[in-house]
A = this chain, B = another copy of it.
């Protein structure tokens, strides 16, 4: 490895130094095709001496594949691109894409304008798409040419494999924990109405309440702490006997707890509160938050690998979510 030359070496340079043709050099470097041990040895040496690094862009161009994996996030405004959840997806994706010479892009998909996807499909630099916060409308609008290289973190379809947390199971565990610890007047703060994957915990809630003969008390939310705050106030007003609030996310749960505290309601004494996601801080607060785990990094990694690999993935890959019982419920 020499010190960085002013002009980075090309395959041509390697071939010349090794005394072989570009084709031969290409074969041994890409690890494709035949090459005599002798040629192999000479090329390898030349690569080392020159500090040669292949140019993924040139490679992609000739192979007809893309150099960017796009994380496409559906939402009402471009502000969805700023949330920590999306950032973690992008970070995890970048980590697995980097060794493949692929970069990560971040797109906003306006709700109700599935045409945006066509744009992505026609961009030859796009090797694949990871959908986040998918809607069925979006799923139905996936251009044929994107099929086989698009996956969803959230709901999927016959054409789009899904990688998601088993939030129905996680919600079930948390709700049963609430029930087992004596809670009978359980309210739930949900996710956005338009987001299909956030309906599963709601369905779990409904099923369990019905099964236990308990009243359904649903407050629409949006994952935010602010909404948790206001929803808690509503809950107290509408159902003075409420003894537990289950929130769709830890953020929301913290908002709920803050509002309860302001109202002089004790947690978990008067009202138990549980969340979902098990973010790092859930263990640090007072009271520590009872929640369910959500392996976002692992999910995003699997999703990115699936589009990178390009082989057909299972229609649905569910990642387990387990109860993390702490002090708040």
Contact = CB atoms under 8 A, between A and B. Distances in A.
Contact of A254 (B5, B57, B118, B285): B285
Copies in the complex: 2
Nearest to A296: B87
B286 A8 contact: no
A258 B124 CA distance: 51
A69 B67 CA distance: 12
Interface in A73-109: 81-82, 84, 86-88, 90-92, 94-95, 97-98, 101-107
A237 to B, nearest CB: 21
Interface string A60-73: 11000011111100
Contacts of A95: 81, 106
Interface stretch (A47-55, A240-248, A308-316): A47-55
Chain A residues touching B, range: 35 or more
A173 interface: no
A282 to B, nearest CB: 10
Nearest to A82: B297
Contact of A91 (B1, B68, B87, B119): B87
A178 interface: no
Q: Which 7 A-B pairs have the closest CB atoms?
A: A103-B103, A87-B91, A4-B143, A94-B106, A68-B103, A254-B284, A8-B122
Interface of A: 1, 3-6, 8-9, 51-53, 55-58, 60-61, 66-71, 81-82, 84, 86-88, 90-92, 94-95, 97-98, 101-107, 115, 118-119, 121-125, 143-146, 225, 251, 254-255, 257-258, 261, 280-281, 283-286, 297
